[in-house]
Each structure stands twice: as C-alpha cells, then as structure tokens.
Homo-oligomer: A and B are copies of this chain.
Amino acid sequence: VPSEGGVLVRNLYLSVDPAQRGWASDRSNYLQPVAPGSVMRGLAVGIVVESLAPSIAVGSIVYGFFGWQDFAIAEADEILNCESHPELPVSAYGSILGITGLTAFLALEKLAHLGSGQTVLVTSAAGAVGSIVGQLARKAGCRTIGLAGDEHKLRLCTESFGYDVAVNYKAGPVGAALEAAVPEGIDVFFDNVGGPILDEALRRMRIGGRVIQCGTAATQNWDPAPRGPRAEREILTRRLTWSGFVIFDHRADFARAAAALSAAIRKGELRYLEDIESGIQCAPQALSNVYAGRNKGKKLIYIGQAV
C-alpha cells in the first residue's frame, strides 16, 4: 500500500546504468551504498496500479527509482517522470526520455556553452549518452568527434549519431589518434570514461575549453585512486572549466528536457537505440556488459507484459 503522495508500480522495464556499479560498491559516492541483501537500487519504467498521488492516475506510465523488482512502492520523490508521452513507446521513458537522454541534453545545455564551429570530443560516443550528445552537438553547428572501441560502434557514430569523425581508441596510441582527428584542438570534451583518454584530451583543449565529466568508466577501482599526469597546469594555462555532472541534481529540468527530446525525435532530428533483454535473470550480467561497453544501445530489461 503506497503512502500519501506515492504509488504502487508494476515494473515493465528495468534500466541498466553504469552508475549502478558505483552504487553497489561498499564506498559511498554521491548516494549511499546499496546494502547486501536489499533490493538493487535502479531505475525502471512501470505502470501505476494503485495511486495516492493526486496528479498520477492508475494506468499512467512512470519512470523512477523503483528498484530491480516486479512491484514497487514509490514515494513521490522517487518518481522522476510522470508526464504522459503517448507519442513514444513505453521503453523510451527508460532510454531517450530517461537519465541517459536527459544527461546528454542537460549537461550540454548547462555546461558546454556550445557555439557554432566549435569542436566537441565525446567518449563512449556510441553509448546511450554519447549517441545523443553527438547528434545535439552536430545540430548546434559543432564539429563532432566520437571515440569508440570497435568497428560496429564507429560506424554507428558516423552513420547514425551525428559524428563527423569516429576514432577507434583501441587501434593505437590515443594521443596520436587525437592529434590527427582534432589538430585544431578541442572546445568541449564530453567525457564518460576518464583515465588515459582524459589525460590526452586535457592536453589538446583549446583556451577556454570546457570539460564535462559525466562518468569514469575507464577506471574500475578507486581505492586507492590510480595516478596519472597532474592536471592543474592544463587547467590554468588553458583556462579550462572542468565540471562534474550528475543528472539527479537537475530534476526540476526533466519535464522540459524530455519534451524537447521527444519533439526532436518526432521531427526526425534525433535517433536513439535500445538494447532490450528479457527477464530479471539477465540483469546482473547486463550491468557488467554495460560497464564494459558491450551493449548496443540503452540497456533495458523487460520484465512486464507489454501495455
């Protein structure tokens, strides 16, 4: 039975997100660690079966922190999206309208200060965030360079995701590859991975460039923190602004951003891919695969009846 303002949700799609690896570690990062034996924290798309929330009708599709479970009691603050989007499939609440699409849209809007003719470099360029970043940056008149780790993803970058150039960061030294791909330097580095690619990119930023840190997927273990070349001289002499972006700080902007993303899809300006498996048994391995970059779009686990 939900409490006042909450709902009972039947989950339909579980969202599999790289951040869950951090949530399941025994060190807190920006959220408390998930306790062993408790339900795995996670986002999901579900249908409301009971509602004590005045603005949410039974039958509504909702998206939020419902956990990796069939049914969830969701408090008001655990619901991230309860707007109606009948123009898109239900799974879209967990992909392009979910945190990955929202991260691409809002991190660019708030931190990139994109200008026409600027150069934007993106890591995990074919991923659920990077694929949207490339298209939005291209639409803003930027030159877009995507880094990815296999030929299939490189093709996706240039054929589907708005990248002018796609670079295989595994094919050789990253520094030399960037030197060739962005001889003019980088205005905006949208980074989902950190590590050695970040080191090389920082040293090729243009004066006044922006570095947006959205993830650190290249490093699996932060205890102790691995070492790398010091960054402060690059920050100073290039007058960089290096910012961290966590989507959950920006909930007040979700409805507006989702509406803008949906409109762009309907105008044919934006593509998104989903990579859907079926059944809760797939979830743990799916998380490991997502962290290793083996998904082919936003990873969702279908556990409900289609509605």
Contacts and interface: CB of A to CB of B under 8 A. Distances in A.
Interface of A: 29-30, 191, 194-195, 198, 207, 213-216, 219, 222, 224-233, 235-246, 249
A241 B242 contact: yes
Contact of A232 (B198, B235, B249): B198
B236 A215 contact: yes
A237 B227 contact: no
Nearest to A193: B232
10 contacts: A30-B239, A215-B236, A219-B230, A219-B233, A222-B233, A235-B242, A236-B246, A238-B244, A240-B242, A242-B242
Contacts of A245: 236, 239
Given A227-B227, A227-B228, A228-B227, A243 B233 contact: no
How many copies are assembled?
2
Contacts of A237: 29-30, 244, 246
Contacts of A207: 30
A236 B214 contact: yes
Given A30-B237, A227-B230, A242-B243, 9 more contacts: A30-B238, A191-B232, A194-B236, A198-B232, A219-B230, A231-B231, A236-B245, A236-B246, A240-B244
A191 to B, nearest CB: 7
A266 to B, nearest CB: 32
Nearest to A192: B236
Nearest to A207: B30
A194 B232 contact: yes
Contacts of A222: 233
Contacts of A243: 235, 239-242
Contacts of A227: 227-230
Given A236-B216, A244-B235, A246-B236, A230 B29 contact: no
Nearest to A242: B242
A244 to B, nearest CB: 4
Contacts of A241: 241-244
A241 B228 CA distance: 20
A101 B91 CA distance: 56
Contact of A233 (B194, B236, B249): B194
B242 A249 contact: no
Contacts of A242: 235, 240-243
Contacts of A232: 191, 194-195, 198, 213, 216, 219
A241 B242 CA distance: 6
Q: Can you list the 3 inter-chain pairs with the closest CB atoms, starting with the nearest?
A: A194-B232, A225-B229, A236-B244
